[in-house]
Amino acid sequence: MDAKDGASDLTSSTKKKSRRPKYSQFTQQELPACKPILTPAWVILIFVAIGIVFLPIGFASLFASEHVVEIVNHYDRDCVPPNYVDNKLAYIQSSKTNKTCIRRVTIPKQMKSPVYIYYQLDHFYQNHRRYVKSRSDGQLRSKSNEKKTDTCAPERYTANGAIVPCGLVAWSLFNDTYKFSVNNKQLGVSKKDITWKSDPKKKFGSDVYPKNFQSGGLIGGAKLNSSIPLSEQEDLMVWMRTSTLPTFRKLYGKIEADLEADDIVTVTIENNYNTYIFGGNKKLVLSTASWIGGKNCLLGIAYLTVGGLCLFLAISFLLLYLFKPRPLGDTSYLSWNRSAPGGHIY
């Protein structure tokens, strides 16, 4: 009996021993660690470093932006014939009025090819929820999904069947057209590669052809050639990439020729798209692009401002540290010394 007790005692004591927590740096919270401290030197170094990095980037982007030549032509107001000025809606909604409009733009600086042609709309809310969701990506991708129009309300089907491409986005496709000529010489507008490369490959099927499009009661925007598959309808693909903000540009095409300074480009505009009803603007933009894209001074200025500010902060902190130094670990700042003479009260 006793022996048994002894044995059980022994086991229980070894069992107890194992209850001691095992040592590891993690459980004892003693992992090696770096404990960076904001010393004055570091503060100044960081500010200077930001300044040193930011200023060149700012200059570079400003420089790049300056190199971009951008011409913006606001045409919707001027393209309305004088007799329709007070009734622009009637002008645009009537099928009988002449929508052709000639604009002349002077090239201020040489524009190296490619020159990108954009149309810009203002106050057009492509980001409206009802609008954004009114499309069927599945239908666009493949012929087999032709009937998938449940997200496309209210442009889902006509009496003849499902609309391809369905939905409000496609239905409201932009339908102004531009033709360019310099010195009476026609300029070719390339519509190749104005979309993201993945669009024709993966998102718009080569077996999907427009069907019942713009054949319902209400005509929205442009019509599509029903013999060309969607994967080649570049304007549609561009339009279907809904914009973030109510002011947006979309690529119309490219001019694959250099435009010289002081050239006068004649643009023949078919002014079809109705922005008059909601007071939107239409602009034609010709622009070159650099490594930062289009003309964009904002970023350069912002970079320069922040870089300059940081250098200024570096200097001001340097001065502060010089005139009002606080030695690292100055014990007079400790709360229990503050009430004592020589302590810092604040």
Partner 1 sequence: MAGSSGRTKRKIRWSKLYSFACFRPVTTENDPSQLLGQPGFSRVVFCNEPQLHKAKPYKYPKNYVSTTKYNVMTFLPKALFEQFRRVANLYFLLAAVLSVTSLAPFQPISLIAPLVFVVGVSMIKEAVEDWHRFLQDLNVNSRTVKVHIGDGEFIEKPWQGLCVGDVVKVNKNEYFPSDLLLLSSSYEDGICYVETMNLDGETNLKVKRCSEATLGLVNDQSFGLFRATVCCEDPNPHLYTFVGNLELKNASFPLCPASLLLRDSKLRNTDYIYGVVIFSGPDTKAVRNSTRSPSKRSRIERKMDLVIYLLFSMLLLISLVTSIGFAEFLKTEMIKWWYLSLDDNDPFFQPQRPEVSGFLQFIRALILYGYLIPISLYVSIEVVKVLQAMLINKDIKLYDEVTCKSVQTRTSNLNEELGQVEMILSDKTGTLTCNQMEFRKCSIAGISYGGDVNEIDRAASKRMNVDVESYCFSIDEFETASQSCEMFEFSVGDISTERAILGGQRHEQNYSSAENSRISNVEEEFAIKGFNFRDGRLMNKKWMYRSNLSDVTMFFRVMALCHTGIPVEEDELTHKLKYEAESPEEVSFLVAAQEFGFQFFRRSQSSMFLKEFDPPTGKEVERKYKLLNLLEFCSARKRMSVIVSDEDGQIILLCKGADNIIFDRLAENGRSYQQATTLHLSNYAEDGFRTLAFAYRKLEAAEYEQWNSIFKVAKTTIGPEREEVLEKASEMIEKDLILLGVAAVEDKLQKGVPECIDKLAQAGIKIWLLTGDKKETAINIGFACSLLRQDMKQFHLSLGRETATIPTNNQLKAMKDDILNQLESFHKLKSEEGNDNAPLALVVDGKALEIALRSDVKDQFLPLAVNCASVICCRVSPKQKALITRLVKEHTGKTTLAIGDGANDVGMIQEADIGVGISGMEGMQAVMASDIALPQFRFLGRLLIVHGHWCYKRISKMVLYFVYKNIALGLTLFYYELYSRFAGEVFYDDWYMALFNVILTSLPVISLGVLEQDVSSEVCLQFPALYQQGMKNIYFTWYRIIGWIVNGVVASLVIFLANIYTFSPNAFQKNGQVADITHLGAMTYTCIIWTVNCQIALIINRFTWIQHLFIWGSIMIWYVFLLVYGAFPPAYSQRGFRVLIEALGPAPLYWAVTLFVVVVSLLPYFIHIVIQRSFYPLDDHVIQEMKHCRKDVADKQMWERERSNSMKMTQVGVSARVDARIRVLKEQLHHKKQLIYRSVTSSPIFRSLTNSPA
Q: Please report, as residue ranges, which positions from 77 to 136 form the binding site for partner 1 (by CB under 8 A).
A: 114, 116, 118, 120, 124-132
Task: By CB under 8 A, tell whether 38 contacts partner 1.
Answer: yes
Contact track, partner 1, 297-336, x by CB under 8 A: -xx--xx--x---x--x---x--xx--x-x-xxxx-xxxx
Six-digit token pair at 258? 């250099």
Kindly list the distances between the CA atom of residue 57 and the CA atoms of 20, 50, 291, in Å, as whole numbers in the listed order.
Answer: 58, 11, 12
Task: By CB under 8 A, tell whether 55 contacts partner 1.
Answer: no
Nearer to partner 1, 212 or 242 (CB): 242
The residues, ordered by sequence, that sit 6+ positions from 235 with a Cβ below 8 Å of its Cβ are 173, 174, 191, 222, 252
Task: By CB under 8 A, tell whether 262 contacts partner 1.
Answer: no
Q: For partner 1, which residue of 6, 8, 9, 28 counts as binding (CB under 8 A)?
A: 28
Task: By CB under 8 A, tell whether 36 contacts partner 1.
Answer: yes
Task: By CB under 8 A, tell whether 274 contacts partner 1.
Answer: yes
The length of the chain in residues reads: 346
Q: For partner 1, which residue of 99, 141, 211, 282 counts as binding (CB under 8 A)?
A: 141
Shortest distance, position 295 Cβ to partner 1, whole Å: 6
Q: DSSP assignment of 253-265, as one string?
A: EEE-S-B-TT-EE
Distance between CA 149 and CA 138 in Å, rounded? 9
Shortest distance, position 104 Cβ to partner 1, whole Å: 23
Q: For partner 1, which residue of 79, 105, 251, 284 counts as binding (CB under 8 A)?
A: 251
Kindly list the distances between the CA atom of residue 269 and the CA atoms of 75, 156, 176, 330, in Å, as whole numbers in the listed order.
Answer: 9, 31, 7, 75
Residue found under tokens 């008059």: 276
Residue found under tokens 């810092």: 344
Distance between CA 200 and CA 146 in Å, rounded? 17
Only segment of 22-30, 100-108, 181-189, 206-214 that touches partner 1 (CB under 8 A)? 22-30
Segment 165 to 224, residues that bind partner 1, using CB under 8 A: 168, 171-172, 193-194, 196-198, 202-203, 218, 220-221
Nearer to partner 1, 229 or 294 (CB): 294
CB atoms within 10 A of CB 3: 7
